[in-house]
Amino acid sequence: MKIAVLTIFPEMLSGVLSASILGRAREEGLLCVEAVDIRAFSARKHKNTDDYPFGGGAGMVMTAQPIVDAVEDARKRGYTGKCLYMSPRGKTLTQERVRQIAQEEDNLILLCGHYEGVDQRAIELVVDEEISIGDFVLTGGELPALVLIDAVARHLPGVLGSGESAQDESFSGGLLEYPQYTRPRVFRGLTVPEVLLSGNHADIEAWRREQALKITAERRPDLLIGKEGMQ
C-alpha cells in the first residue's frame, strides 16, 4: 500500500510512522507513506497556504491552489487511488470501512486540513471522499490521517506478525473484545479467571464469547442490533 499524506506539517508524521508495527511495515516495504508538503506547491510569493474566509468569521481557510496542485502532482507520480479528506464532516471511520480500504485500495492520497478547513472548490476538484474519525474538532487532519493509516496497515498482509491477528479483536466479529489477562496470576490480590488457566480451549472460547457479548450489551448495545441470534 502506497499512501501520500498531503500536509503543511510533514514533521508531525515521522514519529508515529517510524515506530513499532508501522515502522517495521515500512522497513519491510509492506507500507509506503510519503509526506507531501502542500506549502511547496503554493504559487504565492511567501508560500502561504491560507487566507481569510470570504463572508468573514474567525480563523483562516486553506487556499485551493496549493492543494489542487499537490494532488494533481501526486496523481502524475502514480497515486491514482482515492483522495480522502480527513474532516469532521466526513462519514465516521469504522472497522468495516478500514477493512474495505485495505482490501480495495493499493494507493491513497490523504489530505490533511488545518485552521477552519479548506476552500470548498479544492474539495469539489480533487477530493473523492471525506472521512471523520469522530465527532470532535482537532487542530488538524494529521492525527486523523495517522489513525486511518494505522488502522488500515493492520489489515495489510504480513504487517501483523503471526502472534498478532486482526481477526479476533474488537469489532472484528462486530463485538467489543473480551477481557485480557497475563502474568502474574495474582496482582494486588486480584486473580485471573480460573477458566483461562484451565487449558480447556472450548471452555475458554465460550467464556470469551460470553464476556464479549456481555460487555457489548453493556457498553455498545447498538452493535448488537440485528445480531439477536448471537446469544
Give me the residues that bind ligand 4FV (CB under 6 A), please: 86-88, 113-115, 117, 132-134, 136-138, 140-141, 144
**Least distance in Å: CB of 91 to ligand 4FV?**
10
Name residues whose C-beta falls within 8 Å of residue 106's C-beta, 6 or more positions apart in sequence.
1, 2, 81
**Least distance in Å: CB of 60 to ligand 4FV?**
10
Looking at beta carbons, which residue is closest to ligand 4FV?
113
**Least distance in Å: CB of 176 to ligand 4FV?**
22
By beta-carbon proximity to ligand 4FV, the closer residue of 79 and 85 is 85
By beta-carbon proximity to ligand 4FV, the closer residue of 147 and 166 is 147
**Least distance in Å: CB of 140 to ligand 4FV?**
5
**Least distance in Å: CB of 143 to ligand 4FV?**
8
- In contact, 9 and 139? CB cutoff 8 Å: no
By beta-carbon proximity to ligand 4FV, the closer residue of 138 and 156 is 138
Coarse DSSP helix, strand, coil percentages of the chain, rounded to the nearest 5 percent: 40, 20, 40
**Least distance in Å: CB of 156 to ligand 4FV?**
22
Please identify which residue in the block is written with the cell numbers 510533514.
10
By beta-carbon proximity to ligand 4FV, the closer residue of 34 and 116 is 116
- In contact, 108 and 84? CB cutoff 8 Å: yes
Name residues whose C-beta falls within 8 Å of residue 23's C-beta, 6 or more positions apart in sequence.
17
Please identify which residue in the block is written with the cell numbers 501520500.
4
Query: Do the strands 32-37 and 2-7 form a parallel or antiparallel pair, or are they unpaired?
Result: parallel
By beta-carbon proximity to ligand 4FV, the closer residue of 77 and 91 is 91
By beta-carbon proximity to ligand 4FV, the closer residue of 95 and 211 is 95
**Least distance in Å: CB of 117 to ligand 4FV?**
5
Set of cell numbers at residue 212: 464479549
Strand ordering across the sheet containing 129-132: 32-37, 2-7, 107-112, 83-92, 129-132
- In contact, 62 and 117? CB cutoff 8 Å: yes
By beta-carbon proximity to ligand 4FV, the closer residue of 118 and 159 is 118
By CB atoms closer than 10 A (0-12, 13-18, 19+), residue 85 is buried
For 108, the enclosing helix (H) or strand (E) is: strand 107-112
